[in-house]
A = this chain, B = another copy of it.
Amino acid sequence: MKELKETITAKAEYLGDGILKADSFVNHQLLPGLSTRMGKAFADRFREQGAGSATKIVTAEVSGIAPALVTAQALDIPMVFARKKKPAFMKETLYEASATSRTKGDDVTLYISSRYLEPDDKVIIVDDFLATASTLEALVSIVKQSGAQLIGIGCIIEKVFENGRQKLDHLGIPIISLAQVDLVDSGRTFTVL
């Protein structure tokens, strides 16, 4: 997605150690026009790749909520965001799976209520980054626990040097990234592919 690639080039900051800071348009501030167009780009790409029949978008709080919501708007289907704390007032069955946050350095457990993922759902998972794929693998596990069919995965920015895509390839479903970045200059900076 050209607009996103230009935004990354202009505004993302490489902090070293594989960390790409996208605070001004993904992780702290959101630009509504760009966000809305990212949702439409996801929807177009998923439709092109045969995943237009999705019935639900799944993501994880916090930074997944915005890209998942705009994709849900574009496909006009509900979105469910996994919680990182077990909600005290959810008494129903919860699906759960653990992920390691590379940038935050701790393990988190993700929870989704069985009320919002059902065996006849066709699910697309959307998140902000595809890096090590730890969060995405946890969401894949939750979708499988529910019996729903996973038909696509999308992320805004894929950090190809983290090789997360290889961990998801075995699923045999479309994996869409709106922009890919790689490290160059012996890891001292990044480039948008």
Give A residues with C-beta under 8 Å from B.
15, 19, 21, 23-24, 27-33, 35-36, 61-62, 65-66, 69-70, 72-73, 76-81, 83, 85, 87-90, 103-105, 112-113, 115-116
For A30, the chain B residues whose CB sits under 8 A away are 69, 72, 78-81
**Closest chain B CB from A151 CB (angstroms):** 18
Residue contact A32 to B104, C-beta cutoff 8 Å: no
**Closest chain B CB from A141 CB (angstroms):** 18
What is the bound-complex CA distance between A76 and B35, given in angstroms? 11
- How many chain copies? 2
CB-CB nearest 8 A-B residue pairs: A32-B73, A32-B72, A61-B62, A29-B116, A65-B65, A30-B79, A29-B80, A15-B89
**Closest chain B CB from A184 CB (angstroms):** 20
Closest partner residue, chain B, to A81 (CB atom) = B28
Name the one of B65, B70, B104 contacting A62, with C-beta atoms under 8 angstroms: B65
Name the one of B23, B33, B70 contacting A76, with C-beta atoms under 8 angstroms: B33
Residue contact A104 to B85, C-beta cutoff 8 Å: yes
Closest partner residue, chain B, to A36 (CB atom) = B73
Residue contact B103 to A35, C-beta cutoff 8 Å: no
For A89, the chain B residues whose CB sits under 8 A away are 15, 19, 21, 103
What is the bound-complex CA distance between A35 and B76, given in angstroms? 11
Residue contact B88 to A104, C-beta cutoff 8 Å: yes
